[in-house]
Structure 1
Amino acid sequence: MSSVLPPRHPVLRALIDICGPGFARPAGPADTVAARRASFVVGPATATAVADALRLATTRGLAVMPRGAGTKLDWGTPPPGVDLLLDTGRLAGVWHHHPDEGTAEVGAGTPVRAVQAALALHGQRLAADPPSSRATVGGMLAVNESGPLRHRYGSAADQVQHVSYVDPAGVPRAFAPGARRGRPGGMEVDGVIVSATLRLEPMPAARRWVSVAVSTPLQVHHLVAATLAQRVEPSAIEVDLPRAVPQTTVQPPGSLAVLLEGAAPGVQERAARLAKAFGDGVTVTGMAPQWWGRYPFGRDDVALRIAVPIADLHAAVYALRDAAGAVVPIRGSAGLGMVHAVLPGTTGPERVEAILDAVRGVLLARGGRAVVISAPPSTARAVDVADRRDLF
């Protein structure tokens, strides 16, 4: 459908009737998915309006995609086209917070950071920390986006008690993932998430990051093993191995950082014990490293995800280096064997596929996997990109 529409186009008029003036419009230059502009943008404020918009889309044969902050809109297999972007920004707020029960119902369009700020006033938090800084609750759950805290608390989906959504036919539905805790993938919801009832955790009284410089994947392997052997109950074990200095083969020092949380005396004792096990060059601080909980890639890069048993993570990273012919930046959860790697956005599709094939050959016998999660549109359409429901 053309994105150049008369102001009283019948579909647009119907969307305005559903969502109100100012909340349905023709798509603009910024309303794109995989570099292709949508036709309409609509911003419903209620589950009823979401259902009406989806019923209209089904009747008219319109392809719909929900959009929160848009931080992951271009992730996954590029769709052939999107007619209707359904913006969840008006489905926002902490609607029902029960501090004594440790639950809160939150609108899908609510930024995760806003949720955390509201919960902190009650000494609670959501034990999920998606690296997308502007992520909404709906966007986080749609792909089960998880950050460092996944090491201790599980995925974002593991924090959900109940989710309300509207299916593509416009029928309101509910999903309780309790029986599926620990499984990979998103919420397995076919439709638009409206709200989620989330499980909450008490805010830890103290937090300490124990960090040590690392330069090789093998060092990371040994330090993760040492951390687990100390039984210090880490909330997260993260690694950052940056790109080599241009025009050299010198690997700059990276970092392995372990997050410890809990009562202050216990955290201090565990931090001291772990620092002693690590040896020289250790820092213990109450501030996270600058790179902590951030993706190592940008929108113009080819982003890979590698997941493998932690004992074999170093082998996977070395295989990636060999296939790429250079040091590849790595960042992620070393304590879970799940990291992200970055190839330049100028890497051609055939080269990307060749690198993936080589790495997958090593991972096959180790029960691991490597996938492309995002890439420039021209590359994403030519390589095997993970489906959005299989991203995390």
Structure 2
Amino acid sequence: MKDLDVEGVTLRKGTEADAVCGVVPGRVARPKDTKALGRLLTAARATGATVTPRGGGTALDWGSPPRSLDLMVDTSALSWIDHNAGDLVVEVGAGTPLAELRRTLADAGQRLSYDPLRVGGTVGGALATGVSGPRRLLAGGLRDLVIGMTLVRADGVVARSGGRVVKNVAGYDLAKLHTGGYGTLGVIASAAFRLHPLPPAVRVVSVPLRSREGTERALADLRATTVVPAAVELDRDRLCVVLEGTAEGLVPRVEETLRALGEEGAEVAEELPEDWGLLPTEGTLARVLAPPAELPGLACDLDADVRRYGSVPAGTLYLAFAPGTPADVVEKRLAAIRRVPDRTAVLLRAEPHVREAGVDSWGEVPGLSLMRAVKDSFDPDHRLSPGRFAGGI
């Protein structure tokens, strides 16, 4: 791997701690900036090396194992924040920790309306996995907040789309392709986001998750109100409604929410819990997409041994299987969900014994032929995170 010694890049041997779904990289490279990243990928192309990027390393066990991993690109040095508070815009290096970005924006009374699902993640990692948290209800998913992106292609060329103004429409919307792509189309170097002001006050109204009929009725009553929640979330065995606004304005909205959900067992908090939106870090984890109207029933029908989290309006439910759950139990659960029309189930994280048993992580993937054509166009040699995405992409 001497041919990968390029200016501005530190190189070391990969270890077990660097493993991606159990696959240890041959080398780990840390470029100091975007130009060095471009030189590194140019050299990797010349040697035919397979490449997978890494941010904070919190999702290295997500997705499918790469078929080959010669070089891991550590983006931690690509950490910087350029905040234009007046325009509610920020540009951020891919290696920037989300916690650091959150603190910087909060000091200016602003936020990126994104709830991290993992502790210790980076901006690039959040974009690469593409999974958004509870408050996507009002602001949209993370991909909807991106107004510009800089990335490095498989051949080392630096490409940019969008810009640093909200109404910019220059170029192709590459951000939509790369968000959720697990690094299979390119390595994200930086991104620009639109921001929102921090709300003056927050209230979290929660009630126990009841029967299918009771939960569906409560949600129907909530939709019939004038309340505009920031999130409607299933958090384990409780139904949570997040309201944002002024302290005075929240008083009647909380009362209206309580009337809709029912006051038995209800709790009202003035701030989000510390673990808000965070998914379990152990065990097998699946994401289910279903029509929003069907989500409460699906959640209520699950056995008690499967913990559930998810955004009701977004039709997204996360199933957390206890560590050590047998592979056949996971497989049967996913198969039962996939048999129902308009429902999909994807394994975000599979324990080694589940992966080794050959449990299908993705199920049927609509548009797979188009996805493969896009992969062929962006990475014709299939060297970027090969096999990490659906259909072996």
TM-score (norm 2): 0.83
Shift in Å, 1:356: 1.5
Distance 1:170 1:307, change over 3 A: same
One of 289, 294, 306 as aligned partner of 1:307: 289
Distance 1:185 1:339, change over 3 A: farther
**Distance in 1 between residues matched to 2:16 and 2:115, nearest whole Å:** 31
The 3-state SS of whatever aligns with 2:104 is helix
CA RMSD of aligned residues (A): 2.6
Partner of 1:250: none
Shift in Å, 1:223: 2.5
**Distance in 1 between residues matched to 2:176 and 2:301, nearest whole Å:** 27
Partner of 1:18: 7
Partner of 2:215: 220
**Distance in 1 between residues matched to 2:297 and 2:210, nearest whole Å:** 15
Mapped pair 1:113 → 2:95: no
User: What letter corresponds to residue 33 of structure 1 in structure 2?
Assistant: V
CA displacement 1:60-110 (0-9 Å, x = unmatched)? 12111111111111211211231111111100010x221111111100000
Shift in Å, 1:28: 2.2
The 3-state SS of whatever aligns with 2:224 is helix
Partner of 1:375: 350
The 3-state SS of whatever aligns with 1:267 is helix
Matches within 5 A, 1:125-274: 125-176=111-162, 186=179, 190-241=185-236, 254-274=237-257
Give 5+ residue unaligned stretches, structure 1.
Answer: 1-8, 242-253
Shift in Å, 1:180: 6.8
User: What letter corresponds to residue 37 of structure 1 in structure 2?
Assistant: V
User: What letter corresponds to residue 192 of structure 1 in structure 2?
Assistant: V
The answer to whether the Cα contact below 8 Å between 1:42 and 1:85 also exists between their aligned partners in 2 is: yes
The answer to whether the Cα contact below 8 Å between 1:224 and 1:237 also exists between their aligned partners in 2 is: no
The 3-state SS of whatever aligns with 1:100 is helix
CA displacement 1:11-58 (0-9 Å, x = unmatched)? 4xx43x4235xx311112311111221111111111111011111111
The 3-state SS of whatever aligns with 2:39 is helix
**Distance in 2 between residues matched to 1:331 and 1:125, nearest whole Å:** 23
One of 331, 337, 342 as aligned partner of 1:359: 337
**Distance in 2 between residues matched to 1:182 and 1:162, nearest whole Å:** 7
| Identical residues among aligned pairs (%) | 33
User: What letter corresponds to residue 311 of structure 1 in structure 2?
Assistant: A
User: What letter corresponds to residue 275 of structure 1 in structure 2?
Assistant: L
Distance 1:292 1:219, change over 3 A: farther
Give 5+ residue unaligned stretches, structure 2.
Answer: 163-167, 363-386
**Distance in 2 between residues matched to 1:198 and 1:290, nearest whole Å:** 24
Give aligned pairs, total.
Answer: 356
Shift in Å, 1:335: 2.9
Distance 1:378 1:171, change over 3 A: farther
Distance 1:220 1:388, change over 3 A: farther
Greater than 6 Å deviation, 4+ residue runs: 177-185
Shift in Å, 1:302: 1.5
Shift in Å, 1:215: 4.1
Higher relative contact order, structure no. (Cα contacts within 8 Å, ≥ 6 residues apart)? 2
Distance 1:360 1:184, change over 3 A: farther
Mapped pair 1:60 → 2:47: yes
Partner of 1:332: 310
